[in-house]
Amino acid sequence: MKNNKGLFISFEGPEASGKSSQILLLKKYFTRKKIPFLITREPGGTKLAEKLRKLILSRKSEISNIEEILLLMAGRNNHINNVIKPNLQKGKIVVSDRYADSTFVYQGYVNNFGIEKAIKLHKDILNNFYPDYTFIFNLNFEEIIRRLKKRKFKNKYDKIDINFHKAVINGYKKISNNKRYINIDASLSKNKIHNNIIELLKI
């Protein structure tokens, strides 16, 4: 990777697949190597988008799937223009914990809005702005359930529901069909996964 060029990376995958742990390891690596970076997340990343995040992920929220998608798009637009693009222009590596692919899978596929319809919205509203690389953390549903049983549930998608998690896994399989996607075996050790990511990024 050239130091004068920004790089946009997103981490995707089902619940409890280890994305957050890998982002933390990557943060330590960038700091140690003195590589300029920014860690962000979706929904969220800006003051406005974080407010929308609370509404979108709240168990008490009574919003429809279409309303949820539009809120996600609004937050993402704010995130892109105020955080992601400005930091890429500064030559930083921007790492986002989830991005558009989560919308395609969770709202588009699992909640039946339609993957293609969600992709078209992204094209029409957000000008097809995508990461350079998207790492998809693949994990079977048995391991997801095992891990979730150990965690305190934080939002409406943290739940013990085998059919839901199977649908999420299938959704990611359906969308990961071009060179932007890099599949990661999330059942490997944390250090092995981290080393694989560093090797793939060549940084």
Domains of the chain, residue spans: 7-201
Does position 167 have pLDDT exceeding 90, yes or no?
Answer: yes
- Give pLDDT tens digits for 173-183: 999 989 999 99
Q: What is the CATH number of domain 7-201?
A: 3.40.50.300
Residue 4 pLDDT level (bands cut at 50, 70, 90): low
Contacts (Cβ under 8 Å, ≥6 apart) of 115: 104, 105, 108, 109, 171, 174, 175
Span 178-190, average pLDDT? 95
Does position 160 have pLDDT exceeding 80, yes or no?
Answer: no
Task: Look at residues 155, 159, 152 and name the one whose alpha carbon lies nearest to residue 54.
Answer: 155
According to the model, what pLDDT value does residue 3 have? 45
Does position 189 have pLDDT exceeding 70, yes or no?
Answer: yes
Contacts (Cβ under 8 Å, ≥6 apart) of 138: 13, 17, 169, 172, 183, 184, 185, 186
Buried b (16+ CB within 10 A) or exposed e, 4-20: eebbbbbbbbbbbbbbe
- Give pLDDT tens digits for 12-52: 999 999 999 999 999 999 999 999 999 999 999 999 999 99
C-beta neighbour count of 69 within 10 angstroms = 22
Structure tokens at 78: 């704010």
- Give pLDDT tens digits for 56-105: 998 888 899 999 999 999 999 999 999 999 999 999 999 999 999 999 99
Span 121-133, average pLDDT? 97
Residue 1 pLDDT level (bands cut at 50, 70, 90): very low
